[in-house]
A and B are shown apart, each in its own frame.
Chain A
């Protein structure tokens, strides 16, 4: 095979490769800067809104599951996300817990395992939590379930962001 038949000569190949590498390096320089530029905006966007999730009249002392949805905009899409909260009443107090296991993020369920009634149970690595969200020693999670910021207005429960209990 003679060299002349190749469409890309050695010199061209070198040029292409070098430009490619150069391009990479330029990206390396620009990306961190872009990150600085974008970050504060993202934070402002994360401002917490409150969402109407349940009626106080429907709450019991037993945690119940409530789903709520809202629009979320990430880098590319605007999408509808659905979140879940386990909500119960304790006297006048309303507790709303996030179902996200604090171990690695699976979804926990209340009273889901016969062997462990009245606890939150995580099917992934059998993490368990008390009713108030406290993680049970000896199971993988190392902190309690996160708790939603709650607010009651006219008999309706509004939830904000889920925050760590410790």
Chain B
């Protein structure tokens, strides 16, 4: 389900089936790492869009959680925990955080949800067909992760 009023109507009606929240973690920089931030956003956005398409009936795609790349990830932890907690209160039993920022791997154990780290592929100057191919390759890795999580 997308974060739109239409899909939200379906969600509210079919809540018992849509139990997974997909939450992108998006580093933002307005200085040195601006370009990398943009590349990551582009990649993760394409990937999550595809995941939403494949698993529309069970996964809700949340707006991304943005934070300054400059700040250490530890500082984001309390906030992200709050997001996760509220999502749980809202009825999501599986919370999947997805990011290209490797910083999160160091705090993975303190996160109350599944962290999926995908090294980003820069899309700059790539043809559409090639981008699609990359995304479908990444999807092949993600599929088993999700089904595993659901079977837990």
Which of these, B10, B132, B146, B147, contacts A104 with CB under 8 Å?
A: B10
Distance of B86 from chain A, by nearest CB (Å): 23
Residues of A79-124 contacting chain B, CB below 8 A? 80, 82, 101, 103-107, 122-124
A residues in contact with B146, CB < 8 Å? 123
- Does A104 contact B57, Cβ atoms closer than 8 Å? yes
- Does B132 contact A125, Cβ atoms closer than 8 Å? no
- Does A123 contact B132, Cβ atoms closer than 8 Å? no
Tell me whether B14 is interfacial, beta carbon within 8 Å. Answer: yes
A residues in contact with B58, CB < 8 Å? 104, 106, 124-125
B residues in contact with A123, CB < 8 Å? 55, 143, 146-147, 150
Q: How many residues of B contact A (CB 8 A)?
A: 16
What is the total of A-B residue contacts with beta carbons within 8 Å?
37
Distance of A28 from chain B, by nearest CB (Å): 15
The residue in B18, B53, B57, B146 that gathers the most chain A C-beta atoms within 10 A of its C-beta is B57
Which of these, B10, B14, B57, B128, contacts A106 with CB under 8 Å?
A: B57
Q: Which residue of A lies closest to B129 (CB)?
A: A69
Assembled-state Cα–Cα distance A105/B59 (Å)? 10
Residue interface bits B4-45, CB-to-A below 8 A is 1, else 0: 000000100010011000000000000000000000000000
Assembled-state Cα–Cα distance A140/B57 (Å)? 11
- Does A107 contact B53, Cβ atoms closer than 8 Å? yes
B residues lining the A interface (CB < 8 Å):
10, 14, 17-18, 53-58, 128, 132, 143, 146-147, 150
A residues lining the B interface (CB < 8 Å):
80, 82, 101, 103-107, 122-125, 140
